[in-house]
Structure 1
Amino acid sequence: MARKANNVHGVLLIDKDAGMTSNHVLQRAKRLLGATKGGHTGALDPLATGVLPLCFGDATKYSQFMLDADKAYETRAQLGVRTDTADADGAVIEQAAVPELSADAISQLLRTEFIGELTQTPPAYSALKHQGKKLYELAREGKAIPDKSRTIRILDNRLIAEGEDWLDIWLHCTKGTYVRSFVEDVAAALGTVAHVARLRRLQHGNFEIGQCITLDQLEAMSAEERLMQLLPVDACITALPVYALNEHQFAAVKHGIKVPVEPEVDTGEVRIYRKEQFIGLGEITPEHELKSRRLVQTDLL
């Protein structure tokens, strides 16, 4: 028997197709699962494909941890052509000659100039907001785009392949990194211009592309098979340490009452469990107390 809509809880890993917005993927998955509450954990551009974790029900309480997660991408930089959106969906605004480049020289540049902390300016066509308006809305209106430069971190990168006018690059980066800006910056350092011709997210936090299914695969399943694709609610926060409650502590914590913990337990956020059942997110305070932060629904306890 399929669950009622308000009892759909968990994380669904979708391999997003090109041409779809992340919200379109979410709405279609909600309909297929019969869920009423859901959200994605960091949008992918319509051109992009790959790992898109979707959270439903109680899992949405912990989706922020996925928004903050590191990500890995594979992208194709089309050299010699710059577009207004910095990807293949935009209009051409500049063309430039492509210098002869060796794989060794490109790899050296990537490994020396594009690793570690970098200052990056997000593309004009992005969902960042300024005074309540998204930057792409301002861009479409022909208005000046404010400087939204920020510090990001490229944890690792490598040149996968190259042609006369294109590069395939793998990169592992922190949240807030725009691959479109990365590609434009690399091209500028090489003495030309570029745009993203192809982008695929291979990893999002602990989730990898091999764990994902497509929307078409999900649609082909029965209602019960679809629900079986959901990962547990706590899948978003598996990087946090576990704290197991005894029955006395559980009775207090589920009513929002702090409980004392052992002095040797480290302070900070923890996943809290009663036996093997996930209860929610908690915090160990410097006073050696556990306080609840976000608990699952009472009827799930």
Structure 2
Amino acid sequence: MNGILPLWKPKGMTSFDCVAKCRRYFNTKKVGHTGTLDPEVEGVLPICIGSATKIVPFLTDTKKIYIGTVALGSATETEDATGNVIAQKEVVHMPGEAEIETVLEKFQGVITQIPPMYSAVKVNGKKLYEYARANEEVERPVREVFIHDIHLLAIDEDKNSFDLFVECSKGTYIRTLCVDIGKELGYPAHMFKLERTKTGSFSKKNTVTFAMIEEAADNNEQEKLLSPLLEGLSHLVHQEVDDALRARIKNGQKLSISEAPETNNPFVFTNNEEVLAIYGQHPDKPDQIKPIRVF
């Protein structure tokens, strides 16, 4: 079986837990996820099965959409609601819509983030959460991410919190975003709740749950739940080719730049909606393109 499982990851499971479970349901070791979600976060987590694992880095490198809740008045060591409180400040006056929107405008476009200590980012070959658990301090790398859209959804004055819509690049820590927004508003803050509603072309409305997967497995119909590779590559430029060129592409041959579409990014060769390969510019020969992945 080959394809993409548009999984709705439940709370309480790590992304690797989901991969391990899918290996059992689909009876294969060739399973990979496309972007880590914290255990307490639920949402869209496309899982690549079989030959679809070849596109994991390309599907990971897509826009993500989140609905999150910022809680003002307290900061935690994990930057979410699961951690111990490390700072507090009474919210005497809850910021209004105009004030929050003005602050959110500062987070549009390219921003820098320092990853949370309780994260899987590696420093000197060791994950940050391993340093945190050992009470060891380490300098964290500053990273650039891109916020395509961020806006206010609702304010809950009783809970000193507000909901956000965020469309962002891969690698964005919404926990850190919530903390930084709180600082701009003058309060310690943390991410109270988060849901990922879209990854690339996969959205909440077309996801499947583990209950649905289990039922399909009982009837030996798991393959019906899989989306085609093309859906996971919808963000890349596609070039349809004829049967003659199809054979050369399937053999992984280098081709002339004249065969490529006008793009500086990797692109997809297709034939009758079949994904043949992902190609890109040859690093040493500007007049050629070469395969990155062949299917």
Q: TM-score, normalised by structure 2?
A: 0.90
Question: Which blocks of at least 5 consecutive residues in structure 2 are unaligned?
Answer: none
1:93 aligns with 2:86: yes
- Tell me if structure 2 keeps the 8 A contact 1:74–1:168: yes
Shift of 1:224: 3.7
Distance, in Å, in 2 between the alignment partners of 1:55 and 1:263 is: 29
Read off the aligned partner of 2:194 and give its amino acid letter: L
1:121-200 correspondence runs (5 A): 121-164=114-157, 165-200=160-195
* Residue of structure 2 in register with 1:3 after alignment: none
* Residue of structure 2 in register with 1:80 after alignment: 73
Match of 2:200 among 176, 184, 205: 205
Q: How has the CA–CA distance of structure 1 residues 65 and 96 changed in structure 2, closer, same or farther, with 3 Å as cutoff?
A: same
Distance, in Å, in 1 between the alignment partners of 2:281 and 2:127 is: 38
Distance, in Å, in 2 between the alignment partners of 1:248 and 1:203 is: 37
1:102 aligns with 2:102: no
Distance, in Å, in 2 between the alignment partners of 1:76 and 1:275 is: 44
- Tell me if structure 2 keeps the 8 A contact 1:50–1:209: yes
| CA-atom RMSD in angstroms | 2.0
- Tell me if structure 2 keeps the 8 A contact 1:78–1:197: yes
1:38-77 correspondence runs (5 A): 38-77=31-70
- Tell me if structure 2 keeps the 8 A contact 1:263–1:288: no
Shift of 1:274: 3.3
The 3-state SS of whatever aligns with 1:199 is strand
1:272 aligns with 2:269: yes
* Residue of structure 1 in register with 2:292 after alignment: 293
Read off the aligned partner of 2:279 and give its amino acid letter: G
Distance, in Å, in 2 between the alignment partners of 1:246 and 1:290 is: 17
Distance, in Å, in 1 between the alignment partners of 2:167 and 2:236 is: 21
Distance, in Å, in 1 between the alignment partners of 2:259 and 2:43 is: 44
Query: Between the two proteins, what is the percent identity of the paired residues?
Result: 33
Shift of 1:276: 3.5
- Tell me if structure 1 keeps the 8 A contact 2:123–2:140: no
- Tell me if structure 2 keeps the 8 A contact 1:267–1:284: no
The one-character-per-residue Cα deviations of 1:41-97 (angstroms, maximum 9, x if unpaired) are 110001101110111111111111122111111111122121111111111222211
Question: Which blocks of at least 5 consecutive residues in structure 1 are unaligned?
Answer: 1-7, 297-301
1:251 aligns with 2:247: yes
Q: How has the CA–CA distance of structure 1 residues 99 and 38 changed in structure 2, closer, same or farther, with 3 Å as cutoff?
A: same
Q: How has the CA–CA distance of structure 1 residues 265 and 155 changed in structure 2, closer, same or farther, with 3 Å as cutoff?
A: closer
The 3-state SS of whatever aligns with 1:63 is helix
Q: TM-score, normalised by structure 1?
A: 0.89
The 3-state SS of whatever aligns with 2:147 is strand
Shift of 1:260: 4.2
- Tell me if structure 2 keeps the 8 A contact 1:80–1:95: yes
Size of the aligned set, in residue pairs, is 288
Q: How has the CA–CA distance of structure 1 residues 238 and 75 changed in structure 2, closer, same or farther, with 3 Å as cutoff?
A: same
Shift of 1:142: 0.6
